[in-house]
Chain A
């Protein structure tokens, strides 16, 4: 690496300028990233409150606190907010915006104005979504026709809001693709890029290719509501399953939009806290591309019980198993990186290790759903709910938390209280598993999802799950409280508290607006830990 460890800080760096205009009109990718982080985390909390309301209702087999209709609204809002307003944008548009230019040695993204536009389009999107709450959706986040075309909710408004959110996602992905191709520092060849960049590049390809399809899908749904067009209406010759094809052509690849950035973070954190080079760099790098590509081949596995042709069922089931291969490649390489490393358990590492464990569980429960014969039994049960919470929360959200802890010092110039961080991690870990593991059992026993009322034989699992959810909520609350305290009164952070090698750590904390005084000339990859070329172990 060309640059020495630390540069003298200039005080508040990119945070120096204050006033709302310096944020609202900023073209600094770091500030845009911070705005995205605050916004998406706010929606994480709101979506989480809906989850707690669901878990409250599910304590008893009867519908005690809410009507069935209200319950339907709650799980629709929980799912939609978590997916469209939190988990899709949080790592890419939040952490990605902040760190992609720094990782590649650039001053900003390729199109800073489009970057700012993407944030305001996102804001417009969520405002329209909130406006639709005058008549909230009760269809589930999947909005299947014909119900979504007939229900009394503000479907057209919500569709337009989601269309805008999709546009924001597309603009971000477009920006990152061009940035990574064109703005790498001298000497930053593709094989010297941090693996976070490989993950983000693959993610951006998915965003650009898949999102337009769901955009058109929501457009057509709105048109069916407003103009009575016939695409999904069987009475007019339309096909409701066509909605599912279009919806899942996006919504399956989008789970890889969710997981690939998180996997990128794990690939950054594990070597730093093992003081060892990442094992199998090229395998991990290319597995990101492979996951992005293979993810497009399997969408029909969400539709096995929807009445697809037997041939389509068989093909999609067969292809689904392949996605596990590049994913497993990553897991094995991370474990090989840990092997014989000098491992320390700071909070970023705790969350990174948690990711590997919980995502492995979630991933291993995938094949049960990919196999036609078992899916017929498990589809629309709590087994599915557990599967995607283990992968999305046990995976992406843990990766997000790892990234937040890892990069907090760099973004804010402060350190968090490590002890509180570890306690809150423990609560999160325990709470998560108690909350979600029992759902596998309930699902196999036959409990259907999206029901406010259930048979009494499922009550034990539900009570345990609600208790777990409460523990999880406390842990998450403590974690974010810790971040707030760190922001307000945390001790100042050095430029490189983790002694890491990627380029963002060779700048002051927080970085200056222009990132680097001089664009670095890169001579090596950023994983030379514990080797003669790297820092002292």
Chain B
């Protein structure tokens, strides 16, 4: 079973870890600035970048085949669906 196990890989993990800490700091600091609706957008964007780093690097999604990618992405599509369908009702009543 060949996997990435070089020191380069370990360095990448640590680098991503540092990035995640920095992004956490950013999201906390940004929350102290009043940007109105943009606060929500910024927070979700930063969270999604963090999540992507965890998924792609820590969960090794980057090196997986299309099948695994499908299993990872399809549920998110369904999540978007339930949110959309529910909000179309609750926000427009």
Do the two chains touch directly in the complex (Cβ atoms below 8 Å apart)? yes
Q: Is B38 interfacial (CB 8 A cutoff)? A: no
Bound-state Cα–Cα, A307 to B92, Å = 11
Bound-state Cα–Cα, A311 to B82, Å = 16
Neighbouring A residues of B86 by C-beta, 8 Å: 242, 245-246, 249
* Nearest-CB residue, chain A, relative to B82: A249
Neighbouring A residues of B67 by C-beta, 8 Å: 181
Whether A315 lies near B90 (C-beta < 8 A) is: no
Whether B90 lies near A242 (C-beta < 8 A) is: yes
Q: Is A308 interfacial (CB 8 A cutoff)? A: yes
Neighbouring A residues of B88 by C-beta, 8 Å: 309, 311-312, 315
Whether A241 lies near B81 (C-beta < 8 A) is: no
Neighbouring B residues of A312 by C-beta, 8 Å: 85, 88-89, 92
Whether B93 lies near A307 (C-beta < 8 A) is: yes
Q: Is A86 interfacial (CB 8 A cutoff)? A: no
Whether A213 lies near B82 (C-beta < 8 A) is: yes
Q: Is B75 interfacial (CB 8 A cutoff)? A: yes
- Supposing A181-B67, A209-B75, A296-B78 touch, asked if A239 and B90 sit within 8 A by C-beta, the answer is yes
Main secondary structure of the interface of A (DSSP, over half): helix
Q: Is A299 interfacial (CB 8 A cutoff)? A: yes
Binary contact track B9-48/A, C-beta < 8 Å → 1, others 0: 0000000000000000000000000000000000000000
List B67-82 residues whose CB lies under 8 Å from chain A: 67, 74-75, 78, 81-82
Neighbouring B residues of A242 by C-beta, 8 Å: 86, 90
A-B contact count (CB 8 A): 45
Q: Is A300 interfacial (CB 8 A cutoff)? A: yes
Q: Is A297 interfacial (CB 8 A cutoff)? A: yes
Neighbouring B residues of A296 by C-beta, 8 Å: 78, 81
Pick from A181, A242, A312 the residue with the most CB of B within 10 Å.
A312
**Neighbour of B92 across the interface among A246, A303, A309, CB < 8 A:** A309
Bound-state Cα–Cα, A310 to B90, Å = 11
Give the interface size bracket for B toward A.
Answer: 10 to 19
Neighbouring B residues of A309 by C-beta, 8 Å: 88-93
Bound-state Cα–Cα, A15 to B26, Å = 63
Whether B75 lies near A308 (C-beta < 8 A) is: no
Bound-state Cα–Cα, A354 to B82, Å = 36
Q: How far is the CB of B83 from chain A (nearest CB, A)?
A: 10
Binary contact track A197-233/B, C-beta < 8 Å → 1, others 0: 0000000000001000100000000000000000000
Q: How far is the CB of A180 from chain B (nearest CB, A)?
A: 12
Binary contact track A341-378/B, C-beta < 8 Å → 1, others 0: 00000000000000000000000000000000000000
Neighbouring B residues of A315 by C-beta, 8 Å: 88
* Nearest-CB residue, chain B, relative to A311: B92
* Nearest-CB residue, chain A, relative to B78: A209
Whether B89 lies near A300 (C-beta < 8 A) is: yes
* Nearest-CB residue, chain A, relative to B86: A245
Neighbouring B residues of A213 by C-beta, 8 Å: 82
Bound-state Cα–Cα, A303 to B86, Å = 12
Binary contact track A289-311/B, C-beta < 8 Å → 1, others 0: 00000001101100100011111
Bound-state Cα–Cα, A16 to B78, Å = 45
Whether B85 lies near A249 (C-beta < 8 A) is: yes
Neighbouring A residues of B82 by C-beta, 8 Å: 213, 245, 249
Bound-state Cα–Cα, A310 to B89, Å = 8
* Nearest-CB residue, chain B, relative to A177: B71
Whether A300 lies near B93 (C-beta < 8 A) is: no
Neighbouring A residues of B74 by C-beta, 8 Å: 209
Whether B81 lies near A245 (C-beta < 8 A) is: no
Q: How far is the CB of B67 from chain A (nearest CB, A)?
A: 7
* Nearest-CB residue, chain B, relative to A181: B67
Bound-state Cα–Cα, A307 to B89, Å = 9
* Nearest-CB residue, chain B, relative to A245: B86
Neighbouring A residues of B93 by C-beta, 8 Å: 307-309
Bound-state Cα–Cα, A300 to B89, Å = 9
Neighbouring A residues of B81 by C-beta, 8 Å: 296-297
Bound-state Cα–Cα, A404 to B74, Å = 34
Whether A299 lies near B90 (C-beta < 8 A) is: no
Can you list 18 A-B pairs with a CB-CB distance of less than 8 A?
A181-B67, A209-B75, A209-B78, A241-B90, A245-B86, A245-B89, A246-B86, A296-B78, A296-B81, A297-B81, A297-B85, A300-B89, A308-B93, A309-B88, A309-B89, A311-B88, A311-B92, A312-B92
Q: A309-B89, A315-B88 are in contact. List 14 more A-B contacts (CB 8 A).
A: A209-B74, A213-B82, A239-B90, A241-B90, A242-B90, A245-B89, A249-B82, A303-B89, A307-B93, A312-B85, A312-B88, A312-B89, A312-B92, A316-B85
**Interface positions of A (Cβ within 8 A of B):** 181, 209, 213, 239, 241-242, 245-246, 249, 296-297, 299-300, 303, 307-312, 315-316
User: 3 tightest CB-CB pairs across the interface, nearest first?
Assistant: A312-B89, A309-B92, A308-B89
